[in-house]
Structure formats: structure tokens, C-alpha cells
Amino acid sequence: MGIGKNQRSSQDQIEELEMIVAEHETALLRYATRLVNDPHTAQDVVQKTFIKLFEKWRDKGYPEMKNIRAWLYRVTHNGAIDHIRHESRLNTLHERHTEEAACADGHHCPTPVLKDRKEEVLFHLKQLDESEQQVVLLRMEQGLSYQEIAHVTGRSVGNVGCVLHHAVKKLATRVQPEVTS
């Protein structure tokens, strides 16, 4: 009797995991960095994603995962959002105090001067809702299909298209060049 798919040796599992890490690590790091705005934190998030994958294999004896790419993005996204929420709770009072001090004169606080078009788009992307940011990044930066995005986000394919459409429309209106007279 041979070894079945769920009875692979530990060495086979490790080699398979190493192949998955090599194939997906760079893209996941890029995605996580965009979400958390910190490459070191992104490394931690992605590392935890691969640890979860290893634990899943260890605990369940190498389960079949039909869409490993979407699963990795979903776990990475969830880890990044958990980190963002944690940091947000810790920094809320500090940020509020800083903003109040900066805008104490009662004037509208200006938008920071942006170096180039890409920086401007990223600035406005951060102003979108969390769900809109997620869908835009998965589609535009990571190149996931609507079906893969639906799997990652838990949304329907139609809802992914709707969220993407509205997010891109918002970005387009915010990023339009200023008309000079």
C-alpha cells in the first residue's frame, strides 16, 4: 500500500511548503506592505501566514487545498487587518492629540504635498473604505481574478465587481489633475 495524498512524509510536506513559500512570498509581502505600510510588519504578517499553513498541514495531515493562492491572500489579509486594528487601538488617543495640536488654529489642515502621481494615488487609496482598499489592491496590484478576490474576501463575484467599480470611480474623481486657468 503506497502513501496517499494525505499521508505524505514529513520531508515531502516540508518540500511542498518550501515550494509554496518560494512561489508566493514576494507577492504576499508586497500586498501586506501596502496594507500595513511597514515592510517589517509585513514580513511578520506573511511569516505568520506560512506558519498557519504549516500548522494546518501538521494538524490535519496535509489537507488538499484547491486554491492555495486565495487562501494565502485571505490569511495574509486577515493578519494585516488584525495588526492594523491592534495598532489603531493603541494609537487612537495619540493621533487625536497630534491632529488637534496641528490644527489648533481652527483652519482646515492641508493635504500633504505629494511627490508624484503614484504617491498621490496611494494617498487617495488609503482614504477609501477598508473593503474597497482590499479589493483594489488584490485586483490592480496582485492581479487576482474576481473569482479569487471573492474567495479571499468572502464576497460574491458580483459584489467584488461592484465594490471595485465604485472604488476606482472614487479614485478617478479624487486623482484628476487640477485645472489651472
CA angle at residue 35 from 30 to 38, to 5 degrees?
A: 75
The per-residue pLDDT for 75 is 94
Q: How confident is the model at residue 3 (pLDDT cuts 50, 70, 90)?
A: very low
The DSSP element (H or E) to which 119 belongs, if any, is helix 117-126
Residue with cell 490592480: 140
Q: What is the CATH number of domain 111-176?
A: 1.10.10.10
Residues 47-88 have pLDDT tens digits of 999 999 888 877 776 556 678 889 999 999 999 999 988 777
Q: Is the pLDDT of residue 31 over 90?
A: yes
The per-residue pLDDT for 97 is 54
CA distances from 172 to 108, 118, 166 (A): 23, 13, 10
Domain borders along the chain are: 8-108, 111-176
- Fold of the domain built from segment(s) 8-108: Rna Polymerase Sigma Factor; Chain: A (1.10.1740)
Q: How confident is the model at residue 41 (pLDDT cuts 50, 70, 90)?
A: very high
Given a contact cutoff of 8 angstroms between Cβ atoms, the answer to whether 142 and 27 are in contact is yes
